[in-house]
C-alpha cells in the first residue's frame, strides 16, 4: 500500500499540506520562543526563595511592605522589604512610589532579582482601597494561612 493517494487532486492536497506543515510548526515555535521573555511569573518572597529565581529573570514579587523597612534616599531611590510572614525580600526602586504605598499594605513589584538576592523593581503597584488586594497576593497569603481579611467581601474587591 502506497503513502500517496491514487487521486491526482488528493495527491496535490497532501503535497501542499506536507509543504505547509513544517512552516507553520516553525512559525509557532518561533512565536513561543519569542514570547518566553515576556512572561512574568508571580511570587511571594517565600515562593521566590524556594524557586531559586535566576538573577535577571523578570518576575512579579508580591506581599506586604514590612513595617519599619522603608528607607528613602536623597537620589530618589527607595529601599524597602516585602514579606509574606514566612520570608522577606529586599526591594530597591528608583522613582516615585504610588500615593497609596505605605508600610503594612499589600504591594506588587515588577522587576528582577540581582545576583545578591536584592529585587530591583521597575514598577511598584499598591492596593487601591481598604478592601482590595491583588488576587495573586490574596491567594498566596490564604494558602500560607496568613490572610487577615474580614470575610465580608472577596480579597480581590468584587462584591
Specify whether 16 is located in the same domain as 44.
no
Domain range for 109: 40-143
Specify whether 65 is located in the same domain as 84.
yes
pLDDT for the residue 5: 85
Task: State which H helix or E strand residue 136 sits in.
Answer: helix 135-143
pLDDT: is 27 or 2 the higher one?
27
Mean pLDDT of 28-51: 86
Grid coordinates representing 119? 529585587
Specify if 151 maps to a domain.
no
Grid coordinates representing 88? 522577606
pLDDT for the residue 130: 53
Grid coordinates representing 60? 512579579
Specify if 85 maps to a domain.
yes
List of E strands, the chain: 41-43, 58-65, 71-72, 77-83, 88-94, 106-113, 119-126
Q: pLDDT of 91-137, one tens digit each?
A: 999 988 888 888 888 899 999 999 999 999 999 998 665 556 667 77
CA distances (Å), 49 to each of 9, 16, 65, 69, 139, in order?
A: 60, 51, 17, 19, 18
Task: For residue 76, report the phi and psi dihedrals to the nearest 5 degrees.
Answer: 95, -5
Specify if 113 maps to a domain.
yes
Residue 47 pLDDT grade (very low, low, confident, very high; cuts 50, 70, 90): very high
Specify whether 22 is located in the same domain as 82.
no
The total of structural domains in the chain comes to 2
- Report whether pLDDT(25) > 90: yes
- Report whether pLDDT(155) > 50: no
- Report whether pLDDT(90) > 80: yes
Specify if 157 maps to a domain.
no
Least confident of 31-35, 74-78, 104-108, 134-138: 134-138
Amino acid at each position: 500500500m502506497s503513502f500517496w493517494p491514487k487521486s491526482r487532486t488528493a495527491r496535490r492536497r497532501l503535497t501542499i499540506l506536507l509543504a505547509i506543515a513544517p512552516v507553520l510548526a516553525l512559525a509557532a515555535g518561533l512565536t513561543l520562543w519569542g514570547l518566553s521573555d515576556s512572561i512574568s511569573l508571580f511570587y511571594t518572597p517565600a515562593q521566590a526563595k524556594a524557586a531559586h529565581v535566576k538573577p535577571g529573570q523578570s518576575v512579579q514579587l508580591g506581599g506586604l511592605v514590612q513595617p519599619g523597612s522603608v528607607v528613602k534616599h536623597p537620589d530618589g531611590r527607595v529601599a524597602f522589604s516585602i514579606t509574606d510572614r514566612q520570608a522577606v525580600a529586599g526591594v530597591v526602586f528608583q522613582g516615585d512610589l504610588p500615593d497609596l504605598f505605605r508600610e503594612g499594605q499589600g504591594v506588587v513589584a515588577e522587576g528582577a532579582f540581582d545576583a545578591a538576592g536584592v529585587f530591583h523593581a521597575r514598577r511598584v503597584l499598591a492596593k487601591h482601597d481598604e478592601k482590595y488586594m491583588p488576587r495573586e497576593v490574596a491567594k498566596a497569603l490564604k494558602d500560607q494561612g496568613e490572610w487577615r481579611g474580614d470575610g465580608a467581601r472577596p480579597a480581590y474587591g468584587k462584591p
